[in-house]
């Protein structure tokens, strides 16, 4: 399952390379643009880290990622592995260079539109006193 998150790049880390294999990764942090912004750290593994070459701190990005969990020594860890990093235009709209092209559907959990299932209680008549105490 894949997910998507938009935000502003807060921090770009240097490339980390393994001493024993050809594995390498680059981590980065984005700040979401929600009512209560949060900083979220992602990892771009191997060739996916090349997508960060044209991106600088302060750029708006759209990150598509997978969630991976694992257990080690009876402790549990979660990684957010970015597999697509798109630089967005200044207004935070379409990814830069994709203007005029239709948006594509993304895989992931679909959220049904909100339904108004709450009905306001009827207001009692002004002369009735139906307090339970």
Q: How confident is the model at residue 102 (pLDDT cuts 50, 70, 90)?
A: very low
Give the pLDDT confidence of 32-83 residue by residue, as tens digits. 988 899 999 999 988 888 888 888 898 999 999 999 999 999 999 999 999 9
Which pair of tokens denotes residue 12? 């770009």
Q: How far apart are CA 110 and CA 112, in angstroms?
A: 6
CA atoms lying within 13 Å on the CB side of residue 26: 17
pTM of the model: 0.63
48 CB-near residues (< 8 Å, 6+ apart)? 81, 82, 83, 84, 85
Q: Which domains does the chain have, with CATH numbers?
A: 2-87 (2.40.50.140)
Determine the longest span between alpha carbons in the chain, in angstroms: 82
């Amino acid at each position: 399952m894949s997910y998507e998150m938009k935000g502003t790049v807060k921090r770009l880390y240097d490339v980390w390379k393994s001493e024993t294999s050809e594995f390498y990764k680059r981590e980065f942090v984005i700040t979401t643009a929600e009512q209560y912004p949060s900083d979220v750290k992602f990892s771009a593994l191997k060739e996916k880290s090349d997508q960060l070459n044209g991106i600088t701190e302060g750029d708006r990005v759209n990150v598509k990622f997978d969630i991976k969990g694992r257990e080690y020594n009876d402790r549990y860890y979660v990684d957010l592995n970015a597999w697509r990093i798109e630089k967005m235009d200044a207004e935070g709209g379409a990814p830069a260079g994709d203007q005029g092209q239709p948006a594509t559907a993304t895989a992931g959990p679909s959220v049904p539109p909100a339904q108004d299932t709450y009905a306001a209680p009827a207001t009692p008549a002004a002369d009735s006193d139906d307090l339970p105490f």
